[in-house]
A and B are shown apart, each in its own frame.
Chain A
Amino acid sequence: MSLYQDVTRKPWNTVGLPDGIDPKPTFNVSNEKLALVVFVIVASVLFSLLCVSYFIRMWFGGGDWLPIALPSMLWVNTGALVAASVAMQVAVVSSRKQGHGDKSKSPWFLVGGVLTLGFIIGQFTVWQQLTSQGYILQSNPANSFFYVLTGVHILHLVGGLWVWSRALLRQVRKDASHDISKSIELCAWYWHFLLIVWFALFYLVATN
């Protein structure tokens, strides 16, 4: 029974088991994946509101907005994050190929995480460069937003890395009770999402 049929039917008129004896989830995905999708929506709301605040402060603030000259290091970092996302996707594909039973031996999952660490270290370097150039947090709202936006993005990546490290540990231990290919897939999803968020944030701070 489709979702549409379900929500438009007259429940008082029907008796019985419309789907037979198998319980049907509303969406044909795993619980973990649905929870991740919901979380991604919540995180999107968070980033959207930060972006809206950015524009409101820029347009309707006290007229004290001074754009930042962005360090070229940001492009290197972006490359690292793109590579991390690609590595995650390759890990998904190779773990699918190896099948669910055989634990993934693909190193790409590890590579994806390490590249992400590289991105985070790169972002800290950018912060240092900006600070040394005088773009300190308090001196201008454009700076404040730059640090907050990139900081919140890094926090989301750190959360992702925490999940990643647990999955990696299981992979190393060859823990049979967990389906690692599922963890890899969910990580990849989350990484793609955070890459898109980074594109949006980068565009935002680059065009102020």
Chain B
Amino acid sequence: MAYVPLADQDDAHALHDPDSFITKYVWSQDHKVIAIQYGGIAIFVGLIALGLSILMRLQLGFPDTISWIDPAFYYQAVTMHGMIMVVYLLTALFLGGFGNYLIPLMCGTRDMVFPFLNMLSVWVYLLSVLILLASFFVPGGPTGAGWTLYAPQSITPGTPGSGYGILLMLVSLGVFIIAFTMGGLNYVTTILQARTRGLTLMRLPLSIWGIFTATVLGLFAFPALLVSAIMLTFDLMLGTSFFVPSMIHMGETLEHDGGSPILFQHLFWFFGHPEVYIVALPAFGLVSDVLSTHARKNIFGYRMMVWAIIAIGGLSFLVWAHHMYVSGMNPYFGFFFATTTLIIAVPTALKVYNWVLTLWQGNIRLNTPMLFAIGFIFTFVHGGLTGLFLGNVIIDVPLADTYFVVAHFHMVMGVSPVLVLYAALYHWYPKMTGKMFNETLGKIHFWCTFLGTYAIYLPMHYLGFLGVPRRYYEMGNTDFIPASAQALNANITIAAIFVAIAQLLFFINIFWSLKSGKPSGGNPWGATTLEWQTPDTPPKHGNWGEELPAVYRWAYDYSVPGAEKDFIPQNEPGEEYEKTFHHKGGES
């Protein structure tokens, strides 16, 4: 495939050049517009999930003060909060949003290789969100089975939304998987096939490695969810017995017979655990780039970081049953999955060390994106360490149904990825808009969010040790729990409301800056990667003007000894500095 300058590309580029408002902003095939559409939808639906979590917290902190929060609504809120946050917000925003925005820019291409498919992906994603939200308006409301949708409970009458609610959830997930697959084929093909001249795989920024590996994980893991959704829909609508065993419900024997609920759990978690890394790996990648840029230092152990991402991706398919210790399993199985779970901690810890070592002796600029990135290291270490506890069968069994687990997974896959999202949104905001955000407001936003989330989740660990059960609408005959636990719960609720309101600062900041922010210039952070070297900011359709960039070096040439500036962009030719670097001490 020979290199063809834009002037000679008669069709590939011109084919989807937008010429009206509709084709430019609505039915757009431009990856940047699609990224913002993905991001907008994801953040919108994420705010709904945030609202639901506040309603849950109000019930837990101040039981029975809001009359219309009944047990059914509480479980519906729990379920929709979980599913929306994990799938429709985090997966969509990291891969659909940042994946779409950064892949063509960081790879030096004009767009994704299949722009039409890309456009289809975002609209099908919107459809899946609409189907999901429609379940709030159907008889019985949305499903209240918990985000894991365990059969047979999720489709048995008595569970909130066991009719239309669960059906819409399953259909919505199916549609989402179609959208993801269309996007995923694009991301993988673009990264593998369309990189610009000189951009070898090992010169890719870690953001791309994270997004790429997460996409591959998604492509392999979502089929498991699809299979379980198809079979559960059959059990629900057509009376088959894939998952539903013989049951007596309200004194009546149900038609079902012989189904295997454990099979559903295996299928669900075969998707569910890689899903954690579908969210985490792009976060790992993005945070690496933010840390390196704002510490003015090359990322420590680049190759190690790449292989760690791939190793985590591979291992993530071998740990799923650690979510099922309390479902009962052969002890040898438990031993196997505990071992693999602990093994996955090795590449993960390696990444944490490398982030810290990237900061070591760096010229650290404590601006808003950097604060969020460093905050992520804290929350991720906390969440990761509690994961080591829960990975062991013998510790998991007593803790599994307590708030310790809630605290653990919110730290590791709630707060941590969200902090990275903020770091990334602030970091790339100047490129997306051409405007600088308000730094002071950004810092206030960070401290409120960072300290606020600790105020929420740190006490939850303690509640877990006390034995406070999770999933409970209110405490019943639980005399072993001291009354002070309720005071702690009230505190957590107040902190949660505070953090939720603090997020307004972010929205005020980005909308205000869009209009009144200072012009940022093309490369305000002095970053090396290609997206900062575009001729226009924000980049125009086609990204690169007349000629595609050529890449002469890796993505992390910061503070190179002997170089003029403290960064050398990837598309800058020349090799003199390299020799100086080696002569000075051979630190390569």
A20 to B199, CA, bound (A): 11
Segment from B257-265, B346-354, B466-474 that makes contact with A? B257-265
Is B240 within 8 A of A17, CB to CB? Answer: no
Is A46 within 8 A of B3, CB to CB? Answer: no
| B250 in contact (CB, < 8 A) | no
| B185 in contact (CB, < 8 A) | yes
Segment from A36-44, A78-86, A99-107, A200-208 that makes contact with B? A36-44
List chain B residues, Cβ under 8 A from A12: 298, 302, 554, 556-557, 588
B170-200 vs A, CB cutoff 8 Å, 1 = contact: the mask equals 0000000000010011101100111111111
Is B263 within 8 A of A26, CB to CB? Answer: no
Shortest distance between the CB of A45 and any CB in chain B (Å): 5
Shortest distance between the CB of A191 and any CB in chain B (Å): 19
Is B240 within 8 A of A46, CB to CB? Answer: no
Segment from A53-61, A114-122, A127-135, A166-174 that makes contact with B? A53-61
Find the A residue at minimum CB distance from B218.
Answer: A42
Is A144 within 8 A of B242, CB to CB? Answer: yes
| A69 in contact (CB, < 8 A) | no
B545-588 vs A, CB cutoff 8 Å, 1 = contact: the mask equals 00010111110110000000000000001110010000000001
B91-112 vs A, CB cutoff 8 Å, 1 = contact: the mask equals 0000000000000000000000
We find that the number of chain A residues with CB closer than 8 angstroms to chain B is 51
Is A25 within 8 A of B1, CB to CB? Answer: yes
List chain B residues, Cβ under 8 A from A46: 223, 226-227
Shortest distance between the CB of B177 and any CB in chain A (Å): 10
List chain A residues, Cβ under 8 A from B181: 39, 42
A207 to B114, CA, bound (A): 42
Partner of A141, one of B195, B241, B246, B551: B241
A160 to B181, CA, bound (A): 16
Is A61 within 8 A of B200, CB to CB? Answer: no
| B512 in contact (CB, < 8 A) | no
Shortest distance between the CB of B175 and any CB in chain A (Å): 14
We find that the number of chain B residues with CB closer than 8 angstroms to chain A is 67
| B219 in contact (CB, < 8 A) | yes
Is A141 within 8 A of B192, CB to CB? Answer: no
Is A61 within 8 A of B226, CB to CB? Answer: no
List chain B residues, Cβ under 8 A from A19: 197-198, 200
A45 to B267, CA, bound (A): 12
Shortest distance between the CB of A77 and any CB in chain B (Å): 22
A7 to B192, CA, bound (A): 13
Partner of B3, one of A10, A22, A137: A22
Partner of A6, one of B196, B202, B266, B557: B202
Shortest distance between the CB of B255 and any CB in chain A (Å): 7
With known contacts A19-B197, A23-B196, A57-B263, A31–B230 Cβ distance under 8 A: no
Is B258 within 8 A of A53, CB to CB? Answer: no
Segment from B121-129, B231-239, B444-452 that makes contact with A? B231-239
List chain B residues, Cβ under 8 A from A43: 223
A50 to B245, CA, bound (A): 19
B205-236 vs A, CB cutoff 8 Å, 1 = contact: the mask equals 00000000000000110011011001100100
Find the A residue at minimum CB distance from B310.
Answer: A7
A3-29 vs B, CB cutoff 8 Å, 1 = contact: the mask equals 100110111111111111111111100
| A158 in contact (CB, < 8 A) | no
List chain A residues, Cβ under 8 A from B257: 62, 64
| A138 in contact (CB, < 8 A) | yes
Is A31 within 8 A of B245, CB to CB? Answer: no
| B269 in contact (CB, < 8 A) | no
List chain B residues, Cβ under 8 A from A17: 197-198, 550-552
With known contacts A137-B238, A138-B239, A144-B242, A15–B193 Cβ distance under 8 A: no
| B270 in contact (CB, < 8 A) | yes
Find the B residue at minimum CB distance from A13.
Answer: B588
Shortest distance between the CB of A59 and any CB in chain B (Å): 10
In the complex, the 6 A-B pairs of residues with the closest C-beta atoms, listed nearest first: A62-B258, A11-B554, A64-B258, A25-B193, A46-B223, A15-B575
Q: Contact residues of A with B, CB < 8 Å?
A: 1, 3, 6-7, 9-27, 31, 34-35, 38-39, 41-43, 45-46, 49-50, 53, 56-57, 60-65, 137-138, 141, 144, 148, 152, 177
Q: Contact residues of B with A, CB < 8 Å?
A: 1-3, 11, 113-114, 181, 184-186, 188-189, 192-203, 219-220, 223-224, 226-227, 230-231, 234, 238-242, 245-246, 255, 257-260, 262-263, 266-267, 270, 298, 302-303, 306, 548, 550-554, 556-557, 573-575, 578, 588
